[in-house]
A and B are shown apart, each in its own frame.
Chain A
Amino acid sequence: MLDYIQGYLSSNLTPGQAGNVFWVTVYILIVFGGISVAVIAMNWLERKALAHFQVRLGPMRVGPHGLLQPIADAIKLLTKEDIIPSGADTFVFWIAPLIILCAAFTVYIVVPFGPTHAITDLNIGILFMLGVASLSVLGIVMAGWASNSHYPLIGALRSSAQMVSYEVAMGMAVVSAILMTSLHGLGMYGVAAKSTGTGTLSMIEIVKMQQEQQVWFLFKFFPLGLIAFAIFAIAMVAETNRAPFDLPEAESELTAGFHTEYSGLRWSLFMLGEYAAMIAVSSIAVTLWLGGWMRPFPHWLAGETWDLVFSLFPGLTFLGLAAIAFIGVARMPKHPYFKIQTAGLGGFGAVLGLIGVVLFVPLVRDRIQDIYWFAAKVAVFMYLYIWYRATWPRYRFDQLMKVGWKVLLPIAIGVLILTAILGVVL
């Protein structure tokens, strides 16, 4: 038994590929916990960042600087009354948020946090991710239908039409990135080595191809990778029903669209599924175009010293966050009512500093590298999501559909054809 557990540690495969059920379960629990913590942090960050964009402060009272606000929200949602509208189809009403949640979380079994840090590595990795992400459309349609009310039905129809339309453009952009995995050669235009002609759909192999070709696919065939990434970045915002494509769930337009009739725990399942889907499609974008777990400039700034410099980044990030917390402590009002908040913020800063110091230990430093760079890139995308929501007005529904079919799809097909031509010619 013990060497079943130990036996995996010396292999260099993902636990799914090695067939080790114990470590697969451990990884699944770690990923599940990590995504839940990320969703909670994202909830807090969204409210604070939106507030700061709108020149106000956001939640400040629940914990120091509102840090305990998500927990208060969770307690409120859990204790709300569970209302089911009369005439609603109870079974379908109950199962719709579960479908969205399961679809959003099942995607994570192929997300590559490192060359061996994934739950498993399917041969059809990216196909699986796109397919399971498209199952959430079913949940939305069922949620709108089962609510037996006008606004949810219209919201559900609009939302699913939007998601299905942008899935097509997303798929085309993904195909052009997959095409680049088979077009070997070094650097931006790939002229040094010849193509083997065998690409791959597996997520870990895609990042390894970027490593071999010494270029992020964002910069490969110069404008084409960038345009494909831009199409995917726009389509993924529409796919997750976020601003500026959030007409189906906008409060001023449709009284919250397909989740109008859901209250309490069921609504929180929808939000959990939405944030998890956001992180999932961001990790697709990071894997396909932004080099996955690779640190910046692995080939231009190569060598022992640069490796050391870049390996200090995780610790420095956490120490920086701790420094921000301590600056917040210094700026707290010196009133006796604020003693607990000041102490709380100081404690939080101390915990962050401790994590930062632990991440400097060489043993931890080497192993945390890949996961850190992947998480950092996904975090940039999460911040971009919040930025979009704060900055841009909503698209009207017909404008939304026009952009999806008449603008993104032709450009995506054009990029695909040009990538294929450049790959064969160069």
Chain B
Amino acid sequence: MQPVATTFFFYLLSGLAILGGALVITRRNPVHSALALIMTLLAQAGLYLMLYAPFVAGVQIILYAGGIMVLFLFVIMLVNIEKAQKQEQFNKQWLVGIAAAAALGVLFVLVYMKGKALFPERALQLPEQSNTQEIAVLLYGQYMFAFEIASLLLLVAIIGAVVMAKKRI
């Protein structure tokens, strides 16, 4: 199946993602930042779909946009942000921070320009119809150990978060 209008959708989705990212770091109201982050996450799920990764796109929508962002919104509501919204939003070292990030960006650009020959564009196209099945074969075969460790990690995170947020232990 030929993808429809790949160039247009790529620029649209990545533009939305980067716009969302810019809004996250500049909004005064954390709820607006959370909304912008949701926009970024959903645009990213669209980018995953364009990269022939529908399972990762589905996981991104369920876990990130539907789970983690709900968690963020809950905590924003629990924490009193009224006072924080009236204070100064950017810290005293903001110029140094932006300079460091700009240096990082320049580093990225140099790496990509010099190393373009390292990842030649192959015509490998992953079949989209059996993506979930093939991920399952790899996940439960080769990466079984990592899978079990990840579930243990989630258990530890759940217990830790519950203990830390309780009023009296």
Contacts and interface: CB of A to CB of B under 8 A. Distances in A.
Q: Is there direct touching of A and B in the complex, by C-beta distance under 8 Å? A: yes
Interface of A: 17-19, 21, 89, 91-92, 95, 122-124, 127-128, 130-132, 134-135, 137-138, 141-142, 145-146, 153, 157, 160, 164, 198-201
A141 B4 contact: no
A135 B66 contact: yes
Contact of B32 (A17, A18, A91): A91
A127 B32 contact: no
B137 to A, nearest CB: 9
Given A138-B38, A145-B77, A131 B66 contact: yes
B65 interface: yes
B70 interface: yes
B4 A19 contact: yes
Interface stretch (B53-61, B89-97, B116-124, B144-152): B53-61
B54 A157 contact: no
B104 to A, nearest CB: 31
B35 A142 contact: yes
A127 B58 contact: yes
A282 B35 CA distance: 29
Nearest to A122: B54
**Residue from A124, A134, A135, A153 having most chain B Cβ neighbours under 10 A:** A124
B1 to A, nearest CB: 5
B67 interface: yes
Contact of B131 (A123, A134, A198): A123
B31 interface: yes
Nearest to A163: B70
**Residue from B62, B67, B130, B131 having most chain A Cβ neighbours under 10 A:** B62
Nearest to A161: B74
Contacts, number: 79
> How extensive is the interface on chain B, given as a class?
20 to 34
B168 to A, nearest CB: 19
**Residue from A18, A127, A145 having most chain B Cβ neighbours under 10 A:** A127
B58 A92 contact: no
A137 B66 contact: yes
A131 B70 contact: no
Of all A-B residue pairs in the complex, the 4 with the closest CB atoms, nearest first, are: A134-B66, A131-B62, A131-B61, A127-B58
B31 A89 contact: yes
Contacts of A198: 133
B65 A135 contact: yes
B61 A128 contact: yes
A157 B61 CA distance: 21
B73 interface: yes
Contact of A137 (B31, B70, B131): B70
Interface string B20-51: 00000000010110010010000000000000
Contacts of A92: 31-32, 35
A124 B4 contact: no
A128 B65 contact: no
Contact of A17 (B1, B74, B132): B1
Interface string B71-86: 0011001000000000
B125 interface: no
A323 to B, nearest CB: 46
Contact of A123 (B4, B59, B62, B130): B130
A123 B66 contact: no
Contact of A127 (B38, B62, B70): B62
A123 B59 CA distance: 13
A141 B74 contact: yes
Contacts of A146: 31
A141 B67 CA distance: 12
A24 to B, nearest CB: 9
Interface in B146-163: none
Contact of A124 (B1, B54, B69, B77): B54
A354 B46 CA distance: 45
Nearest to A103: B66
A134 B130 CA distance: 25
A184 to B, nearest CB: 15
Contact of B62 (A19, A91, A130, A142): A130
16 contacts: A18-B1, A21-B4, A92-B32, A95-B35, A124-B58, A124-B131, A127-B55, A127-B58, A128-B58, A134-B66, A135-B61, A137-B66, A141-B70, A141-B77, A145-B31, A164-B70
A123 B55 CA distance: 8
